[in-house]
Structure 1
Amino acid sequence: MTFKSYPKEYIISMLQYREDRTKSCIRNIKALEVVLRDVSSRKEIKNKALVDIVKERRLLRFLESNNV
């Protein structure tokens, strides 16, 4: 299925969603990196932040590809 088969409004909304979600991922990664720096003594929080950063980066990579 090509873009020509979709209504113009759908394509615009899809691209807007991808842009919004990409910005959200970048914000989340930056916030998690701050948490990671500030919470060096609490190992469980540090590990959770690392896992969340990896998840957000994977989602960001997916969104930046042409798969969405």
Structure 2
Amino acid sequence: MIKIIAVLCSLSSPANCHEQIVTTSDFANVSVQSCLMGAPQLADWMTQHPAERLAAWRCVIGKQDGRGA
């Protein structure tokens, strides 16, 4: 399984950024190549979060255990 971890920054406070695991059914079959190129599903996901700006993302293969990627 591939997880996409997005770095999101608030539009109202650009220095206020956080990481969030992007998990929806749209990402169920994302390939490594698609993830590295900026999965098209990520753009769709961002339209649902208009108060935030996508600053970066990374792809994690397997289970995220909270110790970093």
TM-score by length of structure 2 reads 0.26
Q: When you count strand as a share of all residues, which structure comes out higher?
A: 2
Considering Cα pairs closer than 8 Å and 6+ residues apart, tell me whether 1 or 2 has the greater RCO: 2
Q: When you count helix as a share of all residues, which structure comes out higher?
A: 1
TM-score by length of structure 1 reads 0.26
